[in-house]
Amino acid sequence: MNDNVTTWDTAGAALSQQQRHKVLRNTYWLLALSMLPTVLGAWIGVSTGITRSLSGGLGLIVFMAGAFGFMFAIEKTKNSAAGVPVLLAFTFFMGLMLSRLIAMVLGFKNGSELIMTAFAGTAGVFFVMASLATVIKRDISGMGKWLFVGAMVLLVGSVINVFIGSTAGMMAISMLAIGIFSAYMLYDIKQILDGGETNYISATLALYLDVFNVFQSLLALLGIMGGERD
């Protein structure tokens, strides 16, 4: 069997299996690297408390403006030398935004255990989805539109719940987010393997958002359901 099976990207250029695996390998390396600024941002946020005041509508505005601003910049620089530094700056920002939730969870007696459980759970989901992506042979690109609709519903629900402040609503949103972004992991990795995504910076951004949302949602759910007060 010829290992250099080819597919065609949107530009019409043949993309060999070896090239697709190179994109995937670079994506995994950059995804691992992106965790360092995220941890640094979260640590600074927890240590200094600079995100403590970002609650309710203000926090939502800062997060949305920062996240979409960075994502726009990443898209513009993904084919240049500035692409990786911009992506890493974005992951630092996301760590800062995550620090408020982490600080809240650390306020529980078992906060550290909850964070480690959320980390292990996210790693487990990623491993399962990455494994599935390598064994599924059928084209799953049609999932994209349904996942996008689900993400938009999730975004609207999250915005509404910021102002309502419902614990039950937060639990429902967190469970839905875990399901949607776990499926997005499968979809995004499969896109790389099938040659649908050829830029490793764009691929890393997509997978980073999947991992971030699963971890954040899992941590929120664990905090609500398993947090122990002193």
pLDDT digits (tens, 9 = 90+) for 63-99: 888 889 999 999 999 998 899 999 999 999 999 999 9
Q: Residues 6 or more apart from 179 whose CB is under 8 A from it?
A: none
115, part of any domain: yes
Contact (Cβ atoms closer than 8 angstroms) between residue 123 and residue 70: no
12 pLDDT above the threshold of 50: no
pLDDT of 94-113, one tens digit each?
999 999 999 999 988 888 99
Percentage of residues of the chain with pLDDT beyond 70: 91
88, part of any domain: yes
166, part of any domain: yes
Query: Token pair for residue 140?
Result: 């799953």
Higher per-residue confidence, 228 vs 92: 92
93, part of any domain: yes
Residue 59, domain extent: 11-226
1, part of any domain: no
91, part of any domain: yes
4, part of any domain: no
Query: Token pair for residue 208?
Result: 């980073």
The total domain count for the chain is: 1
pLDDT value at residue 70: 93
Q: What is the mean pLDDT of residues 115-133?
A: 95
CA dist., res. 212 & res. 214, Å (int): 6
pLDDT value at residue 56: 62
pLDDT value at residue 15: 59
pLDDT of 132-172, one tens digit each?
999 988 888 888 899 999 999 998 988 888 788 788 888 99
Q: What is the mean pLDDT of residues 196-215?
A: 94
5, part of any domain: no
pLDDT value at residue 205: 95
pLDDT value at residue 8: 42
Percentage of residues of the chain with pLDDT beyond 90: 57
